[in-house]
Structure 1
């Protein structure tokens, strides 16, 4: 767990907030006007934390309340023993924060990577709390036609999932991800793609590797891909989304900003999956961004999100 006071040479100037409502010490940023009726919640994925959104938080917080949680096992949140680190647990943790602690309504969800499935499931459980959905290099399982087939195709084609599948089979996945403090930069650059390697400074490397001080602190980063490459054969099949809740979410304003150089979630599969859910929503292709548009093209992503907020 990264210390509360760590700013990474001033690149992360935001006050640390904590809650233990979900049974562990969870960190979140809460910036901007508290009376704002339409808060913006930014959810990270694998293997990042709230630092992913550092270029957006300040500008957005001038006009909106901005909440940025760190998932269990990432960033400034704890990595407790005895937790599954599976999707459903992350969703319940998010519910504890956004509903029980902060009681947020009219939420704009900003979703990246695993933040997409986590945020989509949260939205299905609380459709009345959601105002808009802004996705960037992620997938939203909302019961849309063809979604499963597109995800299978991505699983086969993706450099990230080809590596994860092979590493799970030869027994090296837990070794590589269990040493994420040393390997995380390579994983982000080579298997997911950072399109602007010049941003990878010593401070950047330290920010993304600092949480992963040992094997025990890497439970979260290991379990995200393992859910897909080594699913529990005894686990019940995922339930279909409630059609009423799904219809409510699919009627919300939505937007996709897609980094076209992504080698983990491939645009040729992700874009059709999004359009199947939101056929009339804008899809912006970011030619110069990889899997992390908030790193490669933060100014463009911020402008798109602000336009989306002001026009919907």
Structure 2
């Protein structure tokens, strides 16, 4: 776990907040007016709230921007006696949202933050105001979901490595050293702007994974796919109807090698057929790193346009 006050050379200058609502010490950023609309940013693998630093700075003047670090990631604890499947993270997120009593939520989802956010939406559609995918899948009971996940896994270097490493017994050993191989893991998943690679940037992403005991979150997400332990939340009829009516936006880096647009964007367009979709050429999986200014502009304008 990173020290709670770590700012990484001032690149993450946000006050740390913590809650134990989900049975572990969960870190979150909470910036902006408390009575403003909530923007809830949900990270994926193997990142943390640092991924959203540009969005936090840009939106917190007018929105309440809340960015939790999931169990086993970022400045949150990594309990040794917990499981790290998708449904566990959805349970944690639900308790977090209810404890903070967050409403009028704009979901901003990246990577497995997509299934997490859509799981929350399935359980509490009344708390959701908008849905924004940034290279984050939006599974919501679609009939072809599993077929798309399987097809993507066959094309993605990351998911092919997961399957191979689980089969030969090396997955936990490799990901247990994530603090040392973070760059290769991030690059395998895909970012295109190599100018990002500074000592500060590497330290920010490596710091949560100081030793094998700190890597259970990253291991759990990968292992859960290999073992088919992740269970997507299925909305009931009322929740599906409610969420379909929300304003939605998709932003997808087309150079994403991990979550291919052709497999996952149709999940979004089927759910939100009238919603705008921006496909960013030359932008990789970590689109918030490759194209932060463009994404800040698109998200800011979308929120402004959809305010009542």
Structure 1 segments of 4+ aligned residues over 2 angstroms from their partners: 144-148, 237-241
1:152 alignment partner, one of 135, 150, 153? 150
- For the aligned residues, what is the CA RMSD? 1.3
Residue 134 of structure 2 aligns to a residue whose secondary structure is: strand
Residue 25 of structure 1 is matched in structure 2 by: 25
**How does 1:23-62 map onto structure 2 within 5 Å?**
23-36=23-36, 38-62=37-61
Q: Quick one: distance in 1 between partners of 2:5 and 2:141?
A: 42
- State whether structure 2 residue 239 is matched by structure 1 residue 242: no
Deviation at 1:140, TM superposition (A): 1.2
**How does 1:187-206 map onto structure 2 within 5 Å?**
187-189=185-187, 191-206=188-203
Deviation at 1:80, TM superposition (A): 0.9
Answer whether contact 1:261 1:288 (CA < 8 A) is retained.
Answer: yes
Residues 246-305 of structure 1 show CA distances to partners (whole Å, capped at 9, x for unaligned) of 221111111110001111001111122211211111110011210011100000000010
The number of residues matched between the two structures is 306
Q: Quick one: distance in 1 between partners of 2:15 and 2:158?
A: 33
**Given the two structures, how large is their TM-score scaled by the length of structure 1?**
0.95
Q: Quick one: distance in 1 between partners of 2:304 and 2:93?
A: 26
Alignment CA distance shift 1:12-1:254 (3 Å): same
Higher mean C-alpha displacement, 108-117 vs 154-163: 154-163
Residues 47-94 of structure 1 show CA distances to partners (whole Å, capped at 9, x for unaligned) of 000000011101100110000000000010000121101111111211
Residue 161 of structure 1 is matched in structure 2 by: 159
Unaligned runs of 5+ in 2: none
Residue 110 of structure 2 aligns to a residue whose secondary structure is: strand
Residue 226 of structure 1 is matched in structure 2 by: 223
Answer whether contact 1:123 1:130 (CA < 8 A) is retained.
Answer: yes
Deviation at 1:147, TM superposition (A): 2.4
Residue 18 of structure 2 aligns to a residue whose secondary structure is: strand
Alignment CA distance shift 1:239-1:186 (3 Å): closer
Answer whether contact 1:259 1:286 (CA < 8 A) is retained.
Answer: yes
- State whether structure 2 residue 285 is matched by structure 1 residue 291: yes
Q: Quick one: distance in 1 between partners of 2:265 and 2:123?
A: 24
Answer whether contact 2:122 2:233 (CA < 8 A) is retained.
Answer: no
Q: Quick one: distance in 1 between partners of 2:105 and 2:121?
A: 10
Residue 114 of structure 2 aligns to a residue whose secondary structure is: helix
**Given the two structures, how large is their TM-score scaled by the length of structure 2?**
0.96
Residue 180 of structure 1 is matched in structure 2 by: 178
- State whether structure 2 residue 8 is matched by structure 1 residue 8: yes
Answer whether contact 1:111 1:119 (CA < 8 A) is retained.
Answer: yes
Residue 131 of structure 2 aligns to a residue whose secondary structure is: strand
Residue 3 of structure 1 aligns to a residue whose secondary structure is: coil
Answer whether contact 2:148 2:264 (CA < 8 A) is retained.
Answer: yes
Deviation at 1:241, TM superposition (A): 2.5
Q: Quick one: distance in 2 between partners of 1:72 and 1:238?
A: 18
Residues 113-148 of structure 1 show CA distances to partners (whole Å, capped at 9, x for unaligned) of 010001100111000000000001111111124222
Deviation at 1:175, TM superposition (A): 1.0
1:117 alignment partner, one of 109, 115, 118? 115
Alignment CA distance shift 1:305-1:66 (3 Å): same
